[in-house]
Structure 1
Amino acid sequence: MNVLLAPYACDPARSRGRRHPQLPAPTRTEFQRDRDRIVHSSAFRRLVYKTQVFLNHEGDLFRTRLTHSLEVAQLGRSIARSLQLNEDLVEAICLAHDLGHTPFGHAGQDALNACMQGFGGFEHNLQSLRVVDWLEHRYPEWNGLNLTFETREGILKHCARRNAERLEAREPHGVAWRFLHGGQPSLEAQLCNLADEIAYNAHDLDDGVRSGLVTLTQLREVPLFDRYRAAVQAQYPQLAQGETGQRRLLHEAIRRMLSDQVYDVIGGTRAALARHRPGSVEEVRQLPSLVCFSDAMRAQSQQLKSFLMQSLYRHPQVMQTTDSARRIVRELFGIYQSQPNELPAEQAAQALEGDEQQRARTVADFIAGMTDRFAMREHERLTGERLLD
């Protein structure tokens, strides 16, 4: 046990346990075991070829779901250490939070959700839980990774009521309970949610400039970024000249922005903890969300998100690519649903044995597990068309 844990942090010795009981490990805590299982999973390895914003084939230096997850984990651990939260649990949740994401980022998720509308829909957070609870096949006695309640709770960031009801029926007072009855997850889970937001805002900004779709001139419209850019340029006026100088200017401004956001979260959360004074994890669950920005930083972070939405995510070049990605997912779903023998043998058998609902879920599981490049190749194999080069 980490003796520096605060009373409101998750203690692995007091975990609510695993769905399938196991003897403790001699050298690792329960949350360390969770982290290790996630890192060794097939789903985690596939994240290296799954899109963040720019599709995997568009460049070697753009973020992927894997590098994003690593950045989220780094930010989460840094903040957790200052707040005396459980770093290992934070790391496990951060590394697992995108395991259920489809190929082609949010475009793929939206397309698969549309395909699944008559069959319960598709949510990537729920799919991440499905991956660690069911779809990973690594152990002889059960499906999934058999993670602790606390890690699974953190992975399930959002959940529609109909899905929460199904989960609660299978696991009473389990990971879906709070979506039906109110309440919050652990502080470690709350922290992962905010670290995710901080990370993707910063690296999407970086990737947007690297791609040429966003310019430093445009970024002067974003107060949160521009104050750091101005400070760096005033301190290092030579960076205003040349491509290398501009790149250094961008990196240093983002570095300072990230640092200030981390310190702001630490300060805002400490203030919230001082107001509410939780004495245990269970008290945390009954309070409002406590891991937070200050009001000023929250407003500025929202401005940055709005800028990225308008200038990057909805850029015509990005939209053209994502339109093709959506078509790939839609057409793959239709082909597999009508011709399940085109699936690999194991999935084909599952699809043929079940009803239409089961077939659709089997197809969705298979597509969600694809990398960008596999989905592109599989679509070309089945249709003869190459939509993305």
Structure 2
Amino acid sequence: MSDTAPYASKPEDTLGRLYGAGPSPTRSEFQRDRDRIIHSTAFRRLQHKTQVFLAHEGRHFRNRLTHTLEVSQIARSIARALRLNEDLAEALALSHDLGHTPFGHAGERALHRAMSNFGGFDHNVQALRVVTQLENRYAEHDGLNLTWETLEGILKHNGPLIDASGVPVGRYAHEGLPSGVNDIPAVSDLRLDTYASLEAQAAAIADDIAYNAHDIDDALRAGVLNLEDFLDVPMAGPIVREVLERYPGIPVNRQTHEVQRRMITRAIEDVISFSSANIARIAPQSVDDVRLAGTTIITFSPETAIAEKGLKNFLLTRVYRHKSVMQPVLESEAVVERLFARYMSDADMPGRWGEKAKACSGPNRARVVADFIAGMTDPYALDEHYRLFDARPEFR
């Protein structure tokens, strides 16, 4: 993209792929990454993986695929406004949830507990396992053979994993680095102590914008809350008030959509405005300047960041921990834990997974089991549970 800024990622400057792919006459290297992700099996499976509300609760709630597409649209909008590489931002948005388990974060928590004696489970690292090892469609190699820049962005879109001295930081400061993070096959070191590209940062904040807005929409659709419950909630409250005042007589679903679209628009505009100021202040002249800036550059303004945190706290207590959500959460966690224990003991896994499991034991077998379970869709996990235990959980 000739009109991108000096600090944007340039496909012609990529560090490359682990396996040579030859030049393409019609697509840039980041476009090729995006296309490989879209055509992967793991990407298709996202349509049957939970976001917040399980599929049995209704067909119009977000799933991992619809969430991913919303994140992609927002990431491209931010990237375009900041003159970044839109294709890389899109590829990272499309791949950011490829490592998620069935049943949303509930399944991830359960699998992390089950793997506690074997290095734990981390969905970002799992996404890298998917795109570098577990996808097995290509004739000459495992994985999708993505560029270094895309692998880096998947791993570090939320920031560095370690500081300059090698000490884990952020979410990894307490438990340490996730298992396998130092064994990711890539053409070059992924530099765990630096920040990722601005394209990766755009995808990360797009994720926050998307799920804040659509979790409100889904909570209202599910009847967990009504619009008036948001009147005093940070970030959402002022928008709800102006919508109810301007459109008092229209159906609730139209009011809800008006709130959602205004929230997304204002959040994007806030990010673009404040990030532009950050860029002007830091003045990076290359993507390496971004990596070594020592701070996240694409952010909300301080006022919006505080409000967004308040909104997240509200959603945590009133939506994610609502009894209508928690009952299915507990049941789905139990499904994952029972599947893991059974596969680790005596149950055969289908196809190549069973063959891989028979060839190893201990931590290696546990990782095979975790890979198998993480790749499941919600319906497939329930089918396997029925096959092994002759029972289907009641989510209601």
> In 2, Cα distance between the equivalents of 1:163 and 1:107?
18
1:238-295, CA deviations, whole angstroms, 9 ceiling, x for partnerless residues?
23xxxxx111111111111111110000001000001100000001000111001101
Structure 2 residue 102 is the aligned partner of structure 1 residue 87: no
Moved more, 227-236 or 246-255: 227-236
- The correspondence for 1:215, drawn from 226, 231, 242, is 226
- The correspondence for 1:304, drawn from 307, 311, 314, is 311
Structure 2 residue 25 is the aligned partner of structure 1 residue 34: no
Structure 2 residue 236 is the aligned partner of structure 1 residue 225: yes
Query: Partner of 2:168 in structure 1?
Result: none
Deviation, structure 1 residue 314: 0.4
**Any idea what SS the aligned residue of 1:221 has?**
coil
Deviation, structure 1 residue 166: 5.0
Deviation, structure 1 residue 221: 2.5
Query: Partner of 1:262 in structure 2?
Result: 268
Query: Partner of 1:15 in structure 2?
Result: 14
1:345-380, CA deviations, whole angstroms, 9 ceiling, x for partnerless residues?
311111111121111111100000000011111101
**Any idea what SS the aligned residue of 1:150 has?**
helix
The structure carrying a bigger helix percent of its residues is 1
**Any idea what SS the aligned residue of 1:354 has?**
coil
> In 1, Cα distance between the equivalents of 2:269 and 2:34?
25
Deviation, structure 1 residue 170: 6.0
Structure 2, unaligned stretches of length 5 or more? 162-171
1:259-338 map, 5 Å: 259-287=265-293, 288-338=295-345
Identity %: 48
Provide the aligned C-alpha RMSD in A: 1.5
Query: Partner of 1:242 in structure 2?
Result: none
> In 1, Cα distance between the equivalents of 2:12 and 2:75?
21
> In 2, Cα distance between the equivalents of 1:228 and 1:218?
13
**Any idea what SS the aligned residue of 1:99 has?**
coil
Q: What amino acid maps onto 2:223 in structure 1? A: G
Structure 2 residue 143 is the aligned partner of structure 1 residue 167: no
Query: Partner of 1:183 in structure 2?
Result: 194
Query: Partner of 1:147 in structure 2?
Result: 146
Deviation, structure 1 residue 171: 5.3
**Any idea what SS the aligned residue of 1:207 has?**
helix
TM-score, normalised with respect to structure 2 = 0.92
Deviation, structure 1 residue 18: 0.7
Contact 2:132/2:145 (CA < 8 Å) preserved in 1? Answer: yes
Structure 2 residue 380 is the aligned partner of structure 1 residue 380: no
Query: Partner of 1:236 in structure 2?
Result: 247
> In 1, Cα distance between the equivalents of 2:181 and 2:242?
52
**Any idea what SS the aligned residue of 1:145 has?**
coil
Contact 1:376/1:388 (CA < 8 Å) preserved in 2? Answer: no
Contact 2:121/2:179 (CA < 8 Å) preserved in 1? Answer: no
> In 2, Cα distance between the equivalents of 1:123 and 1:168?
14
> In 1, Cα distance between the equivalents of 2:201 and 2:188?
19
Contact 1:83/1:270 (CA < 8 Å) preserved in 2? Answer: yes
In structure 2, relative to structure 1, the CA distance for the partners of 1:169 and 1:4 (3 Å cut) is closer
Deviation, structure 1 residue 173: 5.5
Query: Partner of 2:60 in structure 1?
Result: 61
Deviation, structure 1 residue 106: 0.4
**Any idea what SS the aligned residue of 1:224 has?**
coil
Moved more, 97-106 or 157-166: 157-166
Deviation, structure 1 residue 22: 1.7
Contact 2:17/2:186 (CA < 8 Å) preserved in 1? Answer: no
Contact 1:116/1:360 (CA < 8 Å) preserved in 2? Answer: yes
Q: What amino acid maps onto 1:27 in structure 2? A: T
Contact 2:15/2:187 (CA < 8 Å) preserved in 1? Answer: no
